Structure 1
Amino acid sequence: MAKHSYEFKKKIVLEYLSSDEGCTSISRKYGMESSSQLLKWTAAYKAFGDDGLKRSRSRKIYSFKEKLSVV
C-alpha cells in the first residue's frame, strides 16, 4: 500500500504551486520527512497531470500460455 494517498499528494502539490511558501516549509507543515519528495510529486504533476500522482503499479496476472510463450 502506498504511504501517501493520491488526495494527500494533490492537496500538497496544489498548495505548493499556488502559494509563496517554499517546499521545505510545506513539507514540514504536513510532517513529511523530506522536501525532495514534494519536488518529485510536483514535477510528475506538471508532466502528467493527475495521472502523475496516482500509483502506477498494477499486478498483471499472466496465464500459463503467456508465460510459456516468453520462454
Structure 2
Amino acid sequence: MTKYDEQFKQQVVSAYLRGDSGFDALAARHGLHSGMLQRWVAAYRAHGRAGLQSKYSSYDARFKLRVLQHMQRDELSLREVSALYDIRDAGSVARWARLYDEGGINALTPRPRGRPRKMVTSLPPKPTEAGTPDERSREELLKENEYLRAEVAYLKKLDALLAKKQAAQKKKRK
C-alpha cells in the first residue's frame, strides 16, 4: 500500500503543470515535501501516467552500468537520470555509483538474499551397472576406497572434537 495513490499524484502534478502555483506552495498546501513533488513532475514528463504508478523492480548489472555511463557521459544529475530511466529512488543510482567506484562491474551484480543453504555432503557416485566389486574397474575401486578413508577420518575427527568438548564442559562444571 503506497502512501499516495495514483489519482492524488495526478491531481497534484496537473495543478503544477497548469501553473496554479510553484513547487513549494503546492507541496505545502498538500502536506508534501517539494522534492517529492519535483520527482513526480519529472517522472510524469518523462513517462506520462506510468511514471506515477507504483513500481517494484530489480535491475541487472548491465542496466546499472548503462545508467551510470549515461549519467557520466551526459553529465546528468541523480534525479535527471532516475527520471529518464524510470528509477523511482534516486538514492539507488547514488548507491550504484558508489559500489561501482569501490568494486567495478562485479559490485553491481545483485547479491543473493536470505539465509545461505546448508552445505550438503556429496555421496560417492553409485555404480550404474556393476553390482559386485569384481566387475568394477581398479580405478573405481581406488576412488571408492579413498572416499571411504576420508569419511572414516572425518568421523574420527568429529568424535575427537565432541569428546574434547564434553571433557571441557565436565571440567567447567566442577
User: Normalised by the size of structure 2, how large is the TM-score?
Assistant: 0.32
Root mean square deviation of aligned Cα: 1.2
Residue matched to 1:18: 18
Q: Any idea what the Cα deviations from partners look like across 1:14-61, whole Å, max 9, x if unmatched? A: 1001015110000011111x1000000000000000000000127xxx
Aligned equivalents of 1:20, 1:12: Cα separation in 2: 10
Aligned equivalent of 2:49: 50
Q: Take 1:52 and 1:15, find their aligned partners in 2: how far apart are those partners?
A: 16
Q: Structure 2 counterpart of 1:8, which letter? A: F
**Take 1:48 and 1:41, find their aligned partners in 2: how far apart are those partners?**
10
Which 4+ stretches in 1 moved above 3 angstroms? none
Query: Does structure 1 residue 8 correspond to structure 2 residue 39?
Result: no
Compare the two structures and name the one with the higher helix fraction. Answer: 2
2:27: which partner in 1?
27
What 5-or-longer segments of structure 2 have no aligned partner? 58-174
Aligned residue-pair number: 57
